[in-house]
Amino acid sequence: MTLRKSIGVAAALLALTAIAHADPCKMFIESNDAMQYNLHEMIVPASCTEVEVNLRHSGQLAAKVMGHDWVLAREADMSGIVTAGMAAGFKHGYLPENDKRIIAATKVVGGGETTTVTFSTSGLQEGIRYAFFCTSPGHSSVMHGVFLFGEPTKLTRAR
Ligand code: CU1
């Protein structure tokens, strides 16, 4: 391959990546060895019928030591799910089985790993405060954020 050709291929790949990231129904969130997400708010337009969330662990620590997941629920359900997840343990991805409060969840990943979850927005309502959080024991106090579906201005004041 000539240099010019490889530059052309690289440019085409970059353009493709830009298109993928521009899709508002596809979200990318990172986590690290310092027990952090890189986002504190995620807003999905009401036009999305499906949402794809990609969670990357950019650290190096193993899943058993510093594993992270991405779980979506109503904000009021977060602490209950986290407690039940802790009881379920690592073997079950720190998630209670068949828990209807969980809207979407990824598996737990360790450093260098990526995981994806795709879910329908048919169960989501505008104006409700949802939360995304990590169910690894002790993580949700830091690793959580607000998740909104549709116009943020329609958010009700009440929790
Ligand atoms: Cu975590």
18 part of a folded domain? no
Q: Which residue has the tokens 């969130």?
A: 29
Range(s) of the domain holding residue 146: 24-154
| Cα of 114 from ligand 1 centre, angstroms | 13
| Cα of 143 from ligand 1 centre, angstroms | 6
Residues with CB under 5 A from ligand 1 (ion): 68, 134, 136, 139, 143
Structure confidence at residue 1 (pLDDT): 53
**pLDDT of 115-143, one tens digit each?**
999 999 999 999 999 999 999 999 999 99
- How many domains does one find in the chain? 1
16 part of a folded domain? no
- DSSP state at residue 19: H
Strand order in the sheet with 26-31: 26-31, 50-57, 114-120
35 part of a folded domain? yes
Residue 35 has phi, psi (to 5 degrees) of: 60, 50
33 part of a folded domain? yes
57 part of a folded domain? yes
Mean pLDDT of the chain: 91
Provide the whole-model pTM: 0.85
**pLDDT of 80-101, one tens digit each?**
999 999 999 999 999 999 999 9
- CA separation for the pair 98, 7 (Å, rounded): 49
Q: Give the domain CATH number at 116.
A: 2.60.40.420
**pLDDT of 42-62, one tens digit each?**
999 999 999 999 999 999 999
Quick one: how far is CA 71 from the chain centroid?
A: 6
Res. 65: pLDDT tops 50: yes
Under 8 Å between Cβ of 55 and 109? yes
- CA separation for the pair 92, 99 (Å, rounded): 12
Under 8 Å between Cβ of 94 and 149? no
| Cα of 126 from ligand 1 centre, angstroms | 27
| Cα of 110 from ligand 1 centre, angstroms | 9
